[in-house]
Every structure is written in C-alpha cells, then in structure tokens.
C-alpha cells in the first residue's frame, strides 16, 4: 500500500473568492500529491501567479507560484491509501499528462457552470476537481465522488481518508517534519480528525 495526498486549498485570489461565494464551500481548489512532502503535487490552475486567465496543468509547489504569492492560503491535507498498482497508474497518468500538458486546457466554463448547477465537460479540458477525479478514476480508486459537477469540497467527505494537516498551507512542512521526528523517537501520533 502507498499513500497519496488530497490537498484542498483556498488562496484568496479573486477567482477563488468567486468560487467560494457561489458554492459556499470552505475550499476552492484541490490538488493531488504523490508524496507527503508535496514535492510531486499537480492540479489544473494558474500557470503564472499574476495571471488568472492563463491556466492549465501545473506542477504546484508549496512555496512557489500562486501559493508563494498568497501567504494566507488555508489548507486541509488528507492522505488516502491505495494499492501499489493503483499508485503506479496514478503516477504514470499524471506524468504522461504533464509531459503532454499543451494538449490539455483549463475548463473555466465547466468551473463556472457549477455555480448554476450545470455540468460542461469536454475531452482534454479540466478544472482542478475534474482532474483529480479523472486521475483517481483511471486508477480504479473509487471514493464515491459525484460523476458530474465535482467540486473541491467533495473530497472532504470521501471515506477512508486521514486528515494529515489543517491550517496555513505555508506551515505544512514544518508540521510534517515534526511529525516524522516524533515518530522516529518511537511515538505514534493519532489522527483524531
């Protein structure tokens, strides 16, 4: 078994505020990470932190790009255990999509349609939640998510997840490093979330 990480965030960008006002959800963005340190974190979002229109498949970094610009980004990070073969499919799907990222487009119309309880889906067009669900579905990871009108907030309610962190996104690695140190000393930290 391996762990993957669902990273829910709200940056406070104008677009994220619009999404939050329409949906009334706590989080407006979701990313999928292949490792606890979030070095391999991917989603559909801004390609440049100052340009909300230029968007697509991005390799996101906790302390770079949009997340670096918006220091008060709020986050909830969940881990989910998957089978080894599912992890390989998830990783390979992401890497293949990233290698061919120019063929994928940001589905802004689909994203905005959610505010009107509509679903607009086109091949090779994704917004963040569609991307994460697509990758997980391709690997056969069934989290009971809706087929249409998927929102980042839907990932808060999947079963068999552990809340690893909740708070300011920029402080996550410090907590992760502390957790590792405590567990190396022989103590186990319970997830009572």
Question: Tens digit of pLDDT for each residue in 150-175?
Answer: 999 999 999 889 999 999 999 998 55
Q: Is the pLDDT of residue 110 over 70?
A: yes
Angle (deg, nearest 10), helices 128-138 and 84-99: 130
Given a contact cutoff of 8 angstroms between Cβ atoms, the answer to whether 42 and 95 are in contact is no
Given a contact cutoff of 8 angstroms between Cβ atoms, the answer to whether 24 and 91 are in contact is no
Whole-structure pTM value: 0.86
CB-CB neighbours of 92 under 10 Å: 13
**pLDDT class for 133, splitting at 50, 70, 90?**
very high
Q: Rg (Cα) of the chain, in Å, rounded? A: 16
At residue 100, the pLDDT reads: 97
CATH class of 2-184: alpha beta
CB-CB neighbours of 9 under 10 Å: 26
The CB-side HSE value for 151 (13 A sphere, CA atoms) comes to: 22
Percent of the chain with pLDDT over 90: 56
- Mean pLDDT of all residues in the chain? 87
Given a contact cutoff of 8 angstroms between Cβ atoms, the answer to whether 41 and 62 are in contact is yes
| Per-residue pLDDT reduced to its tens digit, 50-84 | 776 788 999 999 988 889 888 999 999 999 999 99
Residue with tokens 């996104």: 169
At residue 21, the pLDDT reads: 75
């Amino acid at each position: 078994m391996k762990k993957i990480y669902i990273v829910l965030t709200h940056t406070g960008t104008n677009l994220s505020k619009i999404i939050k006002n329409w949906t009334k959800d706590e989080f407006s963005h979701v990313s999928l990470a292949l490792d606890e340190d979030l070095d391999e974190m991917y989603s559909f979002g801004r390609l440049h932190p100052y340009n909300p229109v230029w968007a697509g498949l991005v390799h996101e970094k906790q302390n770079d790009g949009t997340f670096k610009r918006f220091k008060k980004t709020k986050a909830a990070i969940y881990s989910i255990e998957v089978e080894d073969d599912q992890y390989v499919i998830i990783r390979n799907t992401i890497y293949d999509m990233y290698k061919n990222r120019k063929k994928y487009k940001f589905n802004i119309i689909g994203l905005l349609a959610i505010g009107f309880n509509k679903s607009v889906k086109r091949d090779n067009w994704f917004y963040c939640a569609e991307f994460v669900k697509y990758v997980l579905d391709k690997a056969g990871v069934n989290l009971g998510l809706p087929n249409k009108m998927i929102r980042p907030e839907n990932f808060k309610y999947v079963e068999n997840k552990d809340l690893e962190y909740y708070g300011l996104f920029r402080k996550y690695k410090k907590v992760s490093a502390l957790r590792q140190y405590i567990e190396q000393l022989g103590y186990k930290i319970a997830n009572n979330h």
